Structure formats: C-alpha cells, structure tokens
Structure 1
Amino acid sequence: MEQAWDAIVVGGGPAGLSAALLLGRARRRVLLCDSGEHRNDRAVAMHGFLTRDGIPPGELRRLAREELRAYTGVRVADCRVVEARREESGFVVMLEGEAAPLRSRRLLLATGMVDELPDLPGLNAIWGRTAWHCPYCDGYERRDQPLAVHGEGRLGVKMALEVRSWSHDLVLCTGGSPIDGKDRRRLRELSIGLREERLVALEQEDGELRALRFADGGVLPRRGLFLAAPQRQRCELAERLGCSRTRKGMIRAGHDGGTEVPGLYVAGDTSPHVQLAIVAAAQGSMAAFALNAELLRDDLQAERRPMPA
C-alpha cells in the first residue's frame, strides 16, 4: 500500500463515500478505510434519500464504490484504522494488521455512532425490520398502525411526540423511569398511552413484531417499535487526536466539518447535525470541499516559495 496520501477518509458509509468521490474529482490521492461496521447494517431499506428512496443500505454502498473506481486517485481498503496521530506535515495512520504506518496531509473521520440498545429478549430478531431508532426513516411504512416507543424520561417523551405524526395509535413505554407532571399532561392531551411497567420481552414472528410483554404479565399488541436509545461514538480517534465533544456527545466541529485539530475533519452522524443518510452524504461533500480548499492553499504557497540557490 502506498505510504503517502492527500487525504485518508475513515468510514465507508454515505459521508465517507461522498467525501472520497468529491476528493477524487478534485484529483486528490485518497484512501478510504471501511471497517465493515455501519449503523444501518440491519436496516431493510434507507428512506428519504433522493432518487434512492427504499434502497438497501448495502446496495447504496456497493453502487458508490463502483462509482469511485472511475477515479484513479481513490483507493478503498476494507480495514480498520486503529491509531492516528498529528504531526507537522499532517497525520500518521496505522491500519489493523499493517506494520508500516501511512501518512496523509489531511484526515477525515466519518465513523458514525452506535445505538446502545436495551437488553430486551426478542429485539435482535426484529431490529431494523419492525424496530428502529428513526421515525423519519421508517415511520411512513407503518403509518396509522399500532406503534410503541420505548425510552426513559424526557428522551422517551420527545420520541413519542415525534412518532405521533405517523400514528395516533401510540403507547410510550418508560420502563419505570420518572415522567414529570407536565409531560404526563401533554401525553394525555394527545391521547398517547403510557405504560410504566418494565418491558420484559418482545413477541415476534418471522421478524415481525406482534406484541410487547410486561413484567406484570400484561401483553400489548403492536406492529412497530421505536427506541429512544442513547448513542455513543463508534470510534475514539477524534478524541485521541484532541477533539472535544458537545453536550450531546457529538464531535465539536464547524459547519464544514472542520475541528479544533488542524487538518482534521468529521462528517456524518459523528458530527452535530441531523442524523439522516442524505444529510451525512452532504456533510461528506462539505467536509471534502473545505479539506481540498486547505490543500489548494498549501499547494499554492509551496509553488510561490523561491527555489534554493
């Protein structure tokens, strides 16, 4: 593998692929590293992506990789980045299983987030099919059907208020976490049911949710479940390099993905923006544009330097 790159992009989802595409069109030498772990791996389809509404996530990635083959400066490596450090000329990056380090003038992290799912028997069988984390992505297909939201406290209430746009047959399950009086009144006004007993199992058939089972023995028939689950960064590289997080746990970055670490950019769900695949792709392009503008300035300055006598 070549030892020096204009940019290394870490993450092979919509953000990383979009960044690599734009940088390839700018005639940059780009290495895209994809660990093979993606937040939407279990999803049946992606939605809200213009011209690709309903496409399986893996198919979108396959098509994007095919497009990248047209750009001779872009290489895709199925590997995990295990370490990165900043140096004067850019970044030194280590890949899992590789002894020799790679050097890159700029680094773009598009590693995404991980949903911290509750330990619910039956959830694994339906996750991505009839249980999800985003109503904008999957609510339309279950519109007007009996739905449930599972989440603690204010996080669960907020999700329930969102999901009500897709169905008025809705129940919020809090697992016993406290709900204040104002939120209780709001739920009651909107006819959103409230179940505070602990949820102990999800009854399913062939990946289709059928009912929720509670600790008191009660069973509630439902056709879809949205989880208001906490998230964490999939990768710690940004923090190791010196980035700080926002209050919500995202990497602190500007609108173009630039971070407080010179030459380091972030894009996609890992950054503080709306978490949609099409938004992640746009962020990848924005970060790549800003990154390339920096490289252009560096190149022009280098050309202006007088040659040594």
Structure 2
Amino acid sequence: MNENDIGGGSGSGMRDCVVVGAGAAGLSAALTLVRARRSTLVVDAGRQSNLAAAGIGGLLGHDRRPPAQFYAAGRTELMAYPSVELYTGEVTHGVHEDDGSFTVAFGDGRRERARSMVLAPGMDYRYPRLPGMDERWGGSVFHCPFCHGWEVTGRPMGVLASGAVGVHGALNLRAWSDRVTLLTNGSELTDQQREQLAVGRVGLDERPISRLDGPGAELRAAVFADGGELPIGALLVKTTLYQRSSLARDVGAGLTEPDEMLSVEAIKVDAMCRTGVPGLYAAGDAATSVPPSMASAVASGHLAGAAATVHLAAGS
C-alpha cells in the first residue's frame, strides 16, 4: 500500500482503526493492529518532538540512532502489510458518532471513518523561551536527562527550574556531572530546599537569566541580567507538555491537570491505554503518566493497539 493512497474525497469506507500520530507510539500501535489483519489508517503530521535530537537515548536496539531514521524504518515495516494506509497530514477535528464509530476531518477537507481510534499525536513541549535556547534544543539544552545525559557527561551543567521540581532535577543530574547548578531565574527557594542542595553538593544561582551563549549549537554559559556569567556546557529545562489540539476533547477523552512535578496535560487512560470511551485509546507522550520516553511510547503503543484489536474482535 502506498503512502497517501486513501482514494476519493471522503475515504474508502469504514476502517477498523485510525491511528492519529506516527511517532513511536502511533507506529507501534499500528504495527500491532495490522499484524492482527485490521484495516488501519495512520495519520502522520510530521511533528515528532524529538526530531531535533541527534540521537535516541536509551531505546534498546536503537540507542543513539537518529530519530528520523527510526521513524522511516517504522514506516517501511508498516507498509509491508496490506491492511495499512499512511496519510501525511493533520487531523483538524474528530467526532465520536452515535453508532460508536469515529470520524476525523483533515485540513484538505477529507473525512475518514473508523470503528476505533488510537490517539498518539505527541505533545506540545512548552519551556521558558530564553534567547539562545531554541537553536540548542535537543542537544546541549534538553528536558530529559535519561535521553540526553550520557551525551553531555562530565560537563558543568545547569538546571533551569524552581521549587521542588528544580531541586529534584538538579540532584538527579548529579548522576552525569559533579558540577551542577540550579538556576531559578529570579525565583527563591525555601531554607529546606537550600539545605537539600547543599547536602547534595549542588550549586545555586537565583539571578534572572538574559540569554544562553556559545559557539554555534554548543552551550558555553548562562548569561545573567546583571552581566555575570555561569560557565555551563549543558542545561536541563523544566518543560510542560500540553495537548497539541482539541482532538482528544472532541472525541470525549478526559485530561489530567499538569502539576508541579509531572507537568503533563495527559489523556486519562487505564493500564491498557483505554480512555473510558468505548473504542478510543491513547498512547505515547499524549497519555503518559510518567516522564516521557521513546521506550515507554513504544510499549504503550503496543498496548493500545492490542486493546483496540480486542475491542474490534468483540464487536465483529
């Protein structure tokens, strides 16, 4: 089956499942479905969050592999199965119909229907926008030490966060560096939090930051508003994850509220990635209840695909 081989202005009839998102979770869910001979439409908006990274960190069998290569290999594997169709585009709206099916609409006016749906669109990663940050994102500036810490091991490191989450992140980062400084960017810590940092041999600087500096994509220092500098070669940044669109709400999924420690507006799911809406599943970053990673996304995608397959069998 060819990519974008959907045919017709309104699709080719009712499919078994539509998978929204072709990142690690979506591709994993789709592979599980098509191996169960379920007709599956996979929608790829091309917005995978880790495309900026040089390599995948910590995914068994793919450690340090460029993300784009991983996704290309996944699509190639999928396209070997006759029941899959891959559409490059973005879902603009979704409806949970009265008969239990799902309808999705695309930006070009196309509409598709399916008996089940897996939501795996990834997330909108929001972090403080300091000058010099965007061009270093996914390299020397990152949000997950387990994904990127090894590549910057031994450098002097900063953590841009405040409160309990900043203290936790800074103490954790000591696994990769003996020189870690918590940068609160103007926020103050409690005496207890200061003591925790001191016991953990973590530095503290509460001055407001004006920019990040360094040659090219490398990080050399955090520059403060008062003109001072802190030499660092890597920066861990507190990041909050939000849904990229209203699609989850459109089809009836519930969402969690971001909190201080786990800053994720996640789709609520159970252990089998079921949302509580019959036939609707969610996986990957969009439904994570733990810090996001490629490894957990692949696993949750498989569970969502398996749960959708069981649902389809019960209804056939």
**How far does residue 180 in structure 1 lie from its aligned partner after superposition?**
1.6
Give ranges in structure 2 of 5+ residues lacking alignment: 1-5, 7-11, 259-264
Matched residue SS, 1:27? coil
Matches of 1:178 and 1:244, distance apart in 2: 35
* Selected match of 2:225 from 196, 215, 220: 215
Whether contact under 8 Å (2:94, 2:251) holds in the other structure is yes
2:304 alignment partner in structure 1: 287
The 5 A counterparts of 1:247-262 are 247-248=257-258, 249-262=265-278
Q: Note if 1:157 corresponds to 2:167.
A: yes
1:297 alignment partner in structure 2: 314
1:181-225 Cα offsets, whole Å, 9 max, x none, are: 211110011111111001111112121101110011111111111
- Aligned-residue Cα RMSD (Å) equals 1.2
Matches of 2:75 and 2:293, distance apart in 1: 20
The 5 A counterparts of 1:1-309 are 1=6, 2-87=12-97, 88-99=99-110, 101-248=111-258, 249-274=265-290, 275-299=292-316
Give the aligned residue type for 1:94: A
1:138-195 Cα offsets, whole Å, 9 max, x none, are: 1012122201110132222221122111112000100112312211110011111111
**How far does residue 273 in structure 1 lie from its aligned partner after superposition?**
3.2
Matches of 1:105 and 1:189, distance apart in 2: 56
**How far does residue 247 in structure 1 lie from its aligned partner after superposition?**
3.3
1:38-95 Cα offsets, whole Å, 9 max, x none, are: 1112111101111110001111000001111110001111010011111114111111
Whether contact under 8 Å (1:126, 1:204) holds in the other structure is no
Give ranges in structure 1 of 5+ residues lacking alignment: 300-309
Whether contact under 8 Å (2:100, 2:279) holds in the other structure is no
Give the aligned residue type for 1:291: A
Whether contact under 8 Å (1:23, 1:288) holds in the other structure is yes
TM-score of the aligned structures, taking structure 2 as reference length = 0.91
Matched residue SS, 1:209? coil
Give the aligned residue type for 2:22: G
Matched residue SS, 1:159? helix
**How far does residue 260 in structure 1 lie from its aligned partner after superposition?**
2.0
Matches of 1:5 and 1:242, distance apart in 2: 20
Whether contact under 8 Å (1:243, 1:259) holds in the other structure is yes
Whether contact under 8 Å (2:180, 2:202) holds in the other structure is yes
TM-score of the aligned structures, taking structure 1 as reference length = 0.93
Matches of 1:3 and 1:203, distance apart in 2: 54
Q: Which has the larger radius of gyration?
A: 1
Matches of 1:44 and 1:20, distance apart in 2: 25
Matches of 2:148 and 2:55, distance apart in 1: 9
Matches of 2:299 and 2:245, distance apart in 1: 21
Matched residue SS, 2:304? helix
Matches of 1:172 and 1:43, distance apart in 2: 23
**How far does residue 10 in structure 1 lie from its aligned partner after superposition?**
0.3
Give the aligned residue type for 2:289: H
Give the aligned residue type for 1:273: S
Matched residue SS, 1:92? strand
